[in-house]
Amino acid sequence: MSNITPSQTVGPYFKYGLTPGNDYAWNDAFGNDLVTPNVSGERIRIVGQVFDGEGKVIPDSMLEIWQADAQGRFADPQDTRAMPNAAFKGFGRCGTDAKGGFEFRTIKPGPVPGPGGKPQAPHILLAVFARGMTQQAITRIYFEDEAANAADPILTLVPADRRTTLIAKREQGVTYRFDVHLQGDRETVFFDL
Amino acid sequence: MTLIYPRESNAAHAPRLSPAYKSTVLRSPSKPLVIIPHTLSELTGPVYGHETVRENDNDLTIQHKGEPLGERIIVHGHVHDEDGRGVPNTLLEVWQANACGRYIHVVDQHPAPLDPNFTGAGRAQTDSNGYYRFITIKPGAYPWGNHPNAWRPAHIHFSVFGHSFISRIVTQMYFPGDPLFAYDPIFNSVTDEKARMRMVSSFDLENTKPDWALCYRFDIVLRGRNATPLDND
């Protein structure tokens, strides 16, 4: 048994602390708009809803994303490649609304090195927190218009009939849809990290 | 760069399906999680601290015109990784109920008073040794709908980042000796007793400030990286 501090649910009342918006007397540390004036790359929107095992929307969940910039670089000193990313932080947070909905405004990430230095298809890490979740659940958002998906070293570890749960569909213009199903027939693939 | 975050570290966590905590029944994945290697995506994480935390964000008792009601406390400790290294310059976010056990959240309808001088949200950044400190009010217990006569033990919610996306954790800090521990399915969703007790702070008389505030120590241990990164890519 390890000695780490166990995870606990965020509970139903995290909003005023973590995603206050304009509703509470507290300021947001993070928002759902990751785009900054100087960032390069294709501007995109990712929209979706979070559902439980009965297909009901979950209004009290929180999503966090972490991603590389358009060149595939992370805003983290551990990404030690040349030309470190400076203009794009790559982290966002969004609480779901009454219809379980969320939205992120960001840029399409570039390819990131995977196992053995092989490039991965563009993807975004997504962590889902909610009342009723003892731990966050981590998944990935891939993009349906990326040919690199077919050879992605992570996506190909996922049973073929479940890969579609990880692929955001381009709806119109710059908008991709990515719904999260915590459980059930359409359950999103979550990763054991 | 290949860092190793041991997977067995996760054994400390509660099972995702913990039926005594009823909301887990429809909100826990039912299919096996897919094991994947850790890539740069998982091994990096947001670096947030000084630009996010304002002066006095770690004092929840001075955010309004008047003093909040209740028992003023100091909560402090270190954020370490599981190999005992301090985690410097990392962001902690906290939220909690007031002294009466009432959250300011609009959905909380517990018939206990709101405190106009207490929001219950705060932030701090660890220093170069991983040390942090908050000043706040001891939260009250409150009822919830999980089962008949269900009450949550007093707790403070903590959100911590650490070095990578997979060291990130949201947890709850409890107070020593709470009589509600035995009855709380969220606390007891963590089935290993030693792991469970790591969520309980300790009373810290030495750092109690005379005539002003009691003190509790809460050390947080995050998933660690092996000490020697391998240069194999």
Percent of chain A having pLDDT more than 90? Answer: 89
User: Is B5 known to be catalytic?
Assistant: no
The answer on pLDDT for A178 being more than 50 is yes
> Mind telling me how many Å the CA of B66 is from chain A's nearest CA?
15
Q: What's the pLDDT at B3? A: 63
Residues 6+ apart with CB under 8 A from B8: A2
- How does pLDDT run across B12-33, given as a tens digit for each residue? 999 999 999 999 999 999 999 9
Q: Please state, in angstroms and rounded to a whole number, the distance separating the CA atoms of residues B28 and B50.
A: 35
User: Is B48 known to be catalytic?
Assistant: no
| Domains: count for chain A | 1
In whole angstroms, how far apart are CA A29 and each of A65, A74, A92, A93? 14, 19, 10, 9
Q: Name the more confident of B214 and B8.
A: B214
> Mind telling me how many Å the CA of A66 is from chain B's nearest CA?
7
Name every chain B residue with its beta carbon within 8 A of the beta carbon of A20.
121
Q: Cα B209 from chain centroid? A: 23
Average pLDDT over residues A34-38: 91
- How does pLDDT run across A122-159, given as a tens digit for each residue? 999 999 999 999 999 999 999 999 999 999 999 999 99
Is-contact A44 A108, C-beta < 8 A?
yes
Question: What mean pLDDT, rounded, does chain B reach?
Answer: 94
Q: Of B80, B155, B163, B223, which one is the catalytic site residue?
A: B155
- Local structure of B7: helix, strand or coil: helix
Residue B75 in domain: yes
Query: A with B: how many residue pairs have Cβ under 8 Å apart?
Result: 259
Is-contact A161 A96, C-beta < 8 A?
no
Residue B9 in domain: no
Q: What's the pLDDT at A2? A: 77
State whether B29 and A190 contact (CB < 8 Å): yes
Q: Of B5, B76, B102, B103, which one is the catalytic site residue?
A: B103
The answer on pLDDT for B229 being more than 80 is no
Name every chain B residue with its beta carbon within 8 A of the beta carbon of A15.
105
> Mind telling me how many Å the CA of A78 is from chain B's nearest CA?
6
- How does pLDDT run across B202-212, given as a tens digit for each residue? 999 999 999 99
> Mind telling me how many Å the CA of A114 is from chain B's nearest CA?
5
Average pLDDT over residues A180-186: 97
Q: Please state, in angstroms and rounded to a whole number, the distance separating the CA atoms of residues A120 and A168.
A: 16
Residue A146 in domain: yes
DSSP-derived letter for residue B230 is B
Percent of chain A having pLDDT more than 70? Answer: 99
Q: Of B72, B152, B223, B225, which one is the catalytic site residue?
A: B152
Q: What's the pLDDT at B225? A: 77
Residue B86 in domain: yes
Residue B230 in domain: no
> Mind telling me how many Å the CA of A184 is from chain B's nearest CA?
7
Q: What's the pLDDT at A180? A: 98
Range of the domain at B60: 54-221
Residue A9 in domain: no
Q: What sign does the CA torsion over A139, A162, A104, B28 have?
A: negative
Average pLDDT over residues A184-191: 97
Residue A68 in domain: yes
Residue B42 in domain: no
Instruction: For residue A27, give the CATH number of its domain.
Output: 2.60.130.10
User: Which member of B25, B95, B190 has the closest CB to residue A14?
Assistant: B95
DSSP letters spanning B75-89 = EEEEEEETTS-B-TT
The first and second tokens of residue B57, run together, are 């964000």
Range of the domain at A96: 14-181
Is-contact A1 B194, C-beta < 8 A?
yes
Q: Name the more confident of A100 and B108.
A: A100
Q: CA B142, A57, A105, B94: dihedral to nearest 10 degrees?
A: 10
Average pLDDT over residues A103-110: 97
Is-contact A92 A34, C-beta < 8 A?
yes
Q: What's the pLDDT at B233? A: 40
Locate the chain A residue with the closest alpha carbon to B14: A134
State whether A4 and B194 contact (CB < 8 Å): no
Q: What's the pLDDT at B226? A: 66
The answer on pLDDT for B50 being more than 80 is no
Residue B41 in domain: no
Q: Please state, in angstroms and rounded to a whole number, the distance separating the CA atoms of residues A52 and A186.
A: 10
- How does pLDDT run across B153-190, given as a tens digit for each residue? 999 999 999 999 999 999 999 999 999 999 999 999 99
User: Is B198 known to be catalytic?
Assistant: no
Burial of A172 (0-12, 13-18, 19+ CB in 10 A): exposed
The answer on pLDDT for B121 being more than 70 is yes
Name every chain B residue with its beta carbon within 8 A of the beta carbon of A60.
107
State whether A8 and B170 contact (CB < 8 Å): yes
Name every chain A residue with its beta carbon within 8 A of the beta carbon of B170.
7-10, 129, 136
Average pLDDT over residues B134-162: 97
The answer on pLDDT for A46 being more than 60 is yes
Between A43-52, A56-65, A112-121, the lowest mean confidence (pLDDT) is in A112-121
pLDDT band at A1 (very low <50, low <70, confident <90, very high): low
Average pLDDT over residues B39-56: 89
Instruction: For residue B217, give the CATH number of its domain.
Output: 2.60.130.10
Q: Please state, in angstroms and rounded to a whole number, the distance separating the CA atoms of residues A122 and A135.
A: 26
State whether B45 and A16 contact (CB < 8 Å): no
Q: What is the pTM of this model?
A: 0.96
Is-contact B71 B98, C-beta < 8 A?
no
Residue B171 in domain: yes
Average pLDDT over residues A44-48: 98
Residue A188 in domain: no
State whether A138 and B164 contact (CB < 8 Å): no
The first and second tokens of residue A139, run together, are 């998944």
State whether B95 and A13 contact (CB < 8 Å): yes
Q: What's the pLDDT at B1? A: 44
| Domains: count for chain B | 1
Residue A60 in domain: yes
pLDDT band at A183 (very low <50, low <70, confident <90, very high): very high
Name every chain B residue with its beta carbon within 8 A of the beta carbon of A68.
40-41
User: Which member of A125, A131, A192 has the closest CB to residue B34?
Assistant: A192
Locate the chain A residue with the closest alpha carbon to B194: A3
Name every chain A residue with its beta carbon within 8 A of the beta carbon of B1.
78, 80
State whether B14 and A6 contact (CB < 8 Å): yes
Residue A6 in domain: no
